[in-house]
Amino acid sequence: MNQDNKIAIVTGGTGALGRVIVNHFASKGMKVYVPVRSMKHFMNIFDESQSETEFNMLLKRYAIECDATDEDQVREFCENVMKQEKRIDYLINTIGGYHPKTQIQDTSTALITSQLQLNFYTTFYFTKYALTYMKQRNFGRIVSFGAKPSVELTAGKFAYAFSKLGVINLMQTLAMELKDEDFTFNTIIPNIIDTPANRESMPKGDFSKWIKPEVIAEKCLECCLDEKKAINGEIIKMY
């Protein structure tokens, strides 16, 4: 399906998963905007074009400097995309991170706060401000990422699970609030993603059971192209 006129935002777009989603969406003709801390880092990752096809994809990938944990900067980022494109169609929230196993009695308020800031508030900020502009056209597709510990209790991961559970609740609440309008809000729950960093940190893992970033990127696209709103408010487990 031709997506030449669609505008997507992919947060965490320079990460191991995010960059695959960015490239997959750009290959479908979308313009993809990525919030970045460093333009140099963005260019190092994406400016590797050799073929004409890769060069054309590069022209559809844009970076704007933005600290995703800062609400004012996120608001300004979304404003800048709107000024440039006059629309926002899709938002994919991939920013996130976990912490080493920590028992409840050793869990500090600071750890909970930092996990909420990284995993929940980044998603909340982008969802809130992108949705503000999506509502101007009564259309939007938002996909966010939860985590297995947020749906299956895991010892030592309370702060991480708690922050990701907020993401799930956010998506499902919005699906309920806007069920009569042309929006969808879904949460993907991956297990271990097959990335170079994960292979390095878990060299004895069974890589054959890990999910490929390309498979997740295709699921994100499927959620965005869902014209009949058949997928809305769903927790999509990709183990």
| pLDDT 10s digits, 105-156 | 999 999 999 999 999 999 999 999 999 999 999 999 999 999 999 999 999 9
Q: Structure tokens of 140?
A: 């939007």
Q: How many residues can be counted in the chain?
A: 239
**pLDDT band with cut points at 50, 70 and 90 for residue 56:** low
Amino acid sitting at position 214: E
pLDDT cut 70: percent of the chain above it: 94
* Helices 122-134 + 71-85 axis angle, to 10: 30
Its pTM stands at 0.94
Indicate whether 46 pLDDT > 90: no
Amino acid sitting at position 140: G
The beta strand positions in the chain, using DSSP E, are 7-11, 31-36, 61-65, 90-93, 140-145, 183-190, 235-238
For 182-217, the pLDDT digits (tens) are 999 999 999 889 998 889 989 999 998 999 999 999
Amino acid sitting at position 129: Y
What per-residue confidence (pLDDT) applies to 104?
Answer: 97
**pLDDT band with cut points at 50, 70 and 90 for residue 53:** low
What per-residue confidence (pLDDT) applies to 47?
Answer: 74
Other CB atoms within 10 A of residue 99 CB: 17
CA distance 32 to 94: 14
All domains of the chain in start order, with CATH: 7-238 (3.40.50.720)
CA distance 34 to 127: 14
Q: Determine the average pLDDT of the residues in 44-71.
A: 76
144 phi and psi angles, rounded to 5 deg? -125, 170
Q: Determine the average pLDDT of the residues in 173-187.
A: 98
87's CB contacts (< 8 A; 6+ apart) are 7, 133, 136, 137
CA distance 43 to 61: 10
Indicate the average pLDDT of the chain. Answer: 93
Strands 140-145 and 183-190: parallel
CA distance 14 to 44: 10
Torsion on CA atoms 83, 84, 90, 92, rounded to nearest 10: -90
What per-residue confidence (pLDDT) applies to 239?
Answer: 87
CA distance 120 to 118: 6
**pLDDT band with cut points at 50, 70 and 90 for residue 60:** confident
